[in-house]
Structure 1
Amino acid sequence: MHVVIMGCGRVGASLANALERLNHQVAVIDKDQQAFRRLGSDFHGQQVVGNGFDRQVLAEAGIERAGAFAAVSSGDNSNIISARVARETFGVKHVVARIYDAKRAAVYERLGIPTVATVPWTTDRFLRMLLPEGVATAWREPSGSVAVLQLPVHEGWVGHTVRELEENANCRVAFIMRFGTGVLPEADTVVQADDVVYVAALSGTVTDVTVAAGQPPEEGH
């Protein structure tokens, strides 16, 4: 497959080399000729100097035969404009843009442009390495408003329903891993011993949700 990459920073260069090692044809676009030094002497793909949203530059990079396009420059605006041109003008099937501003990411997703929101993604990776297992988020939607996390549940919840847990912890149970198999629970599904519970919660409430689920249910629940 022919892949066009806009931006030859560390991410762009690493992506280009990785794709070439997988035997894909790669063209890299950057405004700075010196940026191509990051590709190394073993890179045999195309190097195109220019703006990644310029149609002539994209054409020179082979966008018309490209199966994929990645916009990974340091500018959100440049990334989204070039991604839209690749998708809407040239009909590239697989397009993705790196976005630093997480609030913008949701807007671009609605335009049909998959995004990688760099700051939230990196933050979550650090949290998974720094915090005890089960506390950090496993997934976060592009705007950063909703998180999915593995929820440490107090053993006192065994025998209680998913509805009770949701109401008490102010969250939604997304799925349960039970004996190594994923289960989509109903409201009356009963929590069993050794269940691994994943919930969806608003990002600002993750700590409160975790604290609530880590305590035994109140009497009468």
Structure 2
Amino acid sequence: MGCGRVGSMLATGLERRGHSVAVIDVNVDAFRRLGQDYKGLTVKGVGFDREVLEAAGIRRADAFAAVSSGDNSNILAARVVRENYHVDNVVARIYDQGRAAVYERLGIPTVATVKWTVSQVLRRLLPEGSEPVWRDPTGTARLLQIHVHPGWVGRRISELQAAAGTPIPFVQRVGRGIVPDRDTIFQDGDLIYVACHTDRTDELETLFATPPAKH
């Protein structure tokens, strides 16, 4: 939702990665920012209107980004999508950092303008192919923020760490960071941070994009 500079960059970036995309905006002229090569859907309307969302294919959506110019519209749309359509990967752009913290605690990931980058939103939307949160200057090691398949819910973080064969130094839970101990349980909505060698990035993202193997 939102086809300004950020929304158009997200839409075209996702499409280049092979994803199907629908863009919602109240102003049809905004769709010109998508360029002639954009092949996805464009829908005129507000992103918290259910008819508009359904016209954009929300019932088939894997992720939703609310990146219009209004905090209230973004958070309302994010809540409608999360609560009514049960889309797990939802992120809202929020200008007010104080309000962003409140919504994070409600379980809605936000990106405040002062720390905004398109890659931050892509990391939250995509279970694979994300950019690292941090990398060392030599490119040898990195810290990855990884979305984990719901099949891991209820497992100990120590089990995830053992499966990965690399440290999981902390977990983000409803907007707060926690350092897991051996008994910490992975919960629905948690984001894990994995420290790894760069050449293992694809392997680890693929590992956690699928449910754990049955014993």
The TM-score bracket by the shorter chain reads: 0.5 to 0.7
Residue type of the alignment partner of 2:94: I
- Report deviation, 1:120: 4.4
- Structure 2 counterpart SS, 1:103: helix
Provide structure 1 residue ranges, at least 5 long, that are not aligned to the other structure: 1-5, 123-137, 140-181, 185-221
1:56 and 1:93 mapped to 2: Cα distance?
Answer: 20
1:46 and 2:33 aligned: no
2:29 and 2:80 mapped to 1: Cα distance?
Answer: 25
Q: Deviations over 1:70-100 (max 9, x none)?
A: 0000000000000000100000010000000
1:120 and 1:15 mapped to 2: Cα distance?
Answer: 16
1:87 aligned residue = 82
- Structure 2 counterpart SS, 1:113: coil
1:75 and 2:70 aligned: yes
Q: 1:109 aligns with which of 104, 110, 115?
A: 104
1:63 and 2:58 aligned: yes
- Structure 2 counterpart SS, 1:96: strand
- Structure 2 counterpart SS, 1:25: coil
1:24 and 1:120 mapped to 2: Cα distance?
Answer: 25
1:165 aligned residue = none
2:12 aligned residue = 17
- Structure 2 counterpart SS, 1:20: helix
1:67 and 1:24 mapped to 2: Cα distance?
Answer: 10
1:120 and 1:40 mapped to 2: Cα distance?
Answer: 26
2:71 and 2:30 mapped to 1: Cα distance?
Answer: 18
Calculate percent identity across the aligned residue pairs.
69
- Report deviation, 1:110: 1.3
1:191 aligned residue = none
Query: Structure 2 vs 1, CA of residues 39 and 121 (structure 1 numbering), >3 Å: closer, same or farther?
Result: closer
| TM-score normalised by the chain length of structure 1 | 0.53
Residue type of the alignment partner of 1:18: G
- Structure 1 counterpart SS, 2:21: strand
2:15 and 2:40 mapped to 1: Cα distance?
Answer: 8
Residue type of the alignment partner of 2:65: A
1:100 and 2:85 aligned: no
User: Aligned runs of 1:149-164 on 2, under 5 Å?
Assistant: none
Q: Deviations over 1:108-164 (max 9, x none)?
A: 011110000112457xxxxxxxxxxxxxxx99xxxxxxxxxxxxxxxxxxxxxxxxx
Q: Which one has a larger percent strand, Structure 1 or Structure 2?
A: 1
1:8 and 2:3 aligned: yes
1:118 and 2:107 aligned: no
2:35 and 2:86 mapped to 1: Cα distance?
Answer: 31
